[in-house]
Amino acid sequence: MLSHKILIFTLFVSYLSFAQQGGQGVTQNDIQLNTITTALPFLGINPDSRSGAMGDAGTALSGNSSSIMWNTAMLNFAESKSEIGVSYTPWLRQLTNDMHLSYLSGYTRVGTRHVIGGALRYFSLGEITFTDAGGNYIREFKPNEFEVTLAYAFKLADKHSIGINGKFAYSNLTGGLVTAGTETKAAVAGIADISYAYRTEDIDWFKVNGIYSLGVTITNIGNKVAYSANARRDFLPAALKIGNAYTAKIDKYNSLTVSVDVSKLLVPTPPIYANIDGEQTLISGKNNDVGVIAGMIQSFYDAPGRVEEDSNGDPIQNEDGSYKVKKGSKFGEEMREIMIGSGLEYWYNDIFAVRAGYFYENISKGGRQFFTMGVGFKYNIFCFDFSYLAAMKRNNPLANTMRFTLRFTLGDRVNDEKDKPE
């Protein structure tokens, strides 16, 4: 079956990228740190408690109001005709107590093949005191960022759906502060997401009836931004995500969902420069000062790998003038840029859920590695989800992150026999 092949392929990619983390005998010196950074990173923060409890593996989860962030195409397979959700996440509480992320989203079905929705994401960075170079007080300011989303999903066929989001993002981190003679400004971006979803209930694996879902998204496609007129413009956190989810209907009261996501930033990897004859020279990788579309394409093959050095620590030059790169290190770095999220969800009688998950990012690309857990409760039109993040390393700023989501179902369930789409 096609669903078998897709799931096996995703797991194979996950295995390859995980294997690149370096096993026993690999020293810190062998792992070349080369983290990809972007502007407006709040666009990549997950506010949803359900997927947050499942290792941030939400691209193929069943549709709800949070799908606008994960995969708008999934809304055509949501059980409810309409829903409103609100999420709240205290952020980086290991470092401060006044940062938080809030998310409001909702959708409604129009006919049998159309769904429209919208969302508002607001990120507060708390209160910051600005000082000059001498440490003298300038003023207080509360940096903030927000994103407004309009969403549309269209059902191509019974098992196929596509979605598109149009978004506007605004980031005001400095309040127009003048520094070093340069006036700063807010960053503004127009953004699009595109998504695809496949869902089938015709699954009979291990003699258990089940549901298989596939989700593919490209998110945060938008213009580069800067916080001053003369500054270099930076990429948004555009990302490709491929998700699989399988729900086993164990019996009338019990179900178990397994979800696996693989994702990759569609942002150019920083190249390697070295001081050659008094000049900064690009010795491996590709120039990352390119346009948005060119950067997205380039992100699949521009990893610089590890440049080999001589006994003096200088890069070794080939006869053709290029520089020697350790064999296989470019491919290895590309694979290390893949992030993996995985999770389990158990429901009892569609009333109570228990969830757990794990997220992995290679140490050379940021090193976010954590376990997650959470619970969910449904009663009538209300659903409450909670998640907790347990960091694997001490002093991790993400440690003890909690997310809270409350969703309200409006209207009849779509899967009521009289309301099933044709």
pLDDT tens digits along 226-273: 998 888 899 999 999 999 999 999 998 999 999 999 999 999 999 999
pLDDT the model gives residue 421 = 41
Backbone φ and ψ of 114, nearest 5°: -125, 140
Q: Kindly report which listed range (41-55, 64-78, 95-109, 197-211) carries the lowest average pLDDT score.
A: 197-211
pLDDT the model gives residue 9 = 47
pTM metric for this prediction: 0.88
Backbone φ and ψ of 126, nearest 5°: 75, -160
pLDDT the model gives residue 95 = 79
CB 85 within 8 A of CB 69: no
Alpha carbons 28 and 73: distance in angstroms, whole number: 42
Alpha carbons 215 and 211: distance in angstroms, whole number: 13
pLDDT the model gives residue 11 = 46
**Predicted confidence (pLDDT) at residue 213 exceeds the cutoff of 60:** yes
Alpha carbons 219 and 236: distance in angstroms, whole number: 10
Averaged pLDDT for residues 373-385:
95
**Predicted confidence (pLDDT) at residue 204 exceeds the cutoff of 90:** no
Which residue from 190, 194, 191 is spatially nearest to 217, judged by alpha carbons? 194
Indicate the CATH number of 2-21+33-269+337-419 among 2.40.10.120, 3.20.20.140, 2.10.109.10, 2.40.160.40. Answer: 2.40.160.40
Q: What is the 3-state secondary structure (H, E, C) of the chain?
A: CHHHHHHHHHHHHHHHHHHCCCCCCCCHHHCCCCCCCCCCHHHHCCCCHHHHCCCCCCCCCCCCCCHHHHCHHHHHHCCEEEEEEEEEEECCCCCCCCCEEEEEEEEEEECCCEEEEEEEEEEECCCEEEECCCCCEEEEECCEEEEEEEEEEEEEECCEEEEEEEEEEEEECCCCCEECCEEECCEEEEEEEEEEEEEEEEEEECCEEEEEEEEEEEEEEECCECCECCCCCECCCCEEEEEEEEEEECCCCEEEEEEEEEEEECCCCCCEEEEECCEEEEEECCCCCCCHHHHHHHCCCCCCCCECECCCCCECECCCCCECECCCHHHHHHHHCEEEEEEEEEEECCCEEEEEEEEECCHHHCCCEEEEEEEEEEECCEEEEEEEEEECCCCCCCCCCEEEEEEEEEEEECCCHHHCCC
Structure tokens that stand for 197 in this block? 């979803």
pLDDT the model gives residue 287 = 92
**Predicted confidence (pLDDT) at residue 7 exceeds the cutoff of 70:** no
The pLDDT confidence band at residue 24, using thresholds 50, 70 and 90, is: very low
Q: How far is CA 315 from CA 35, 270, 277, 284, 332, in A?
A: 21, 17, 12, 10, 20
**Predicted confidence (pLDDT) at residue 78 exceeds the cutoff of 60:** yes
Other C-beta atoms closer than 10 Å to the C-beta of 319 total 5
**Predicted confidence (pLDDT) at residue 12 exceeds the cutoff of 60:** no
pLDDT the model gives residue 415 = 54
Alpha carbons 260 and 244: distance in angstroms, whole number: 5
Domain extents for the chain? 2-21+33-269+337-419
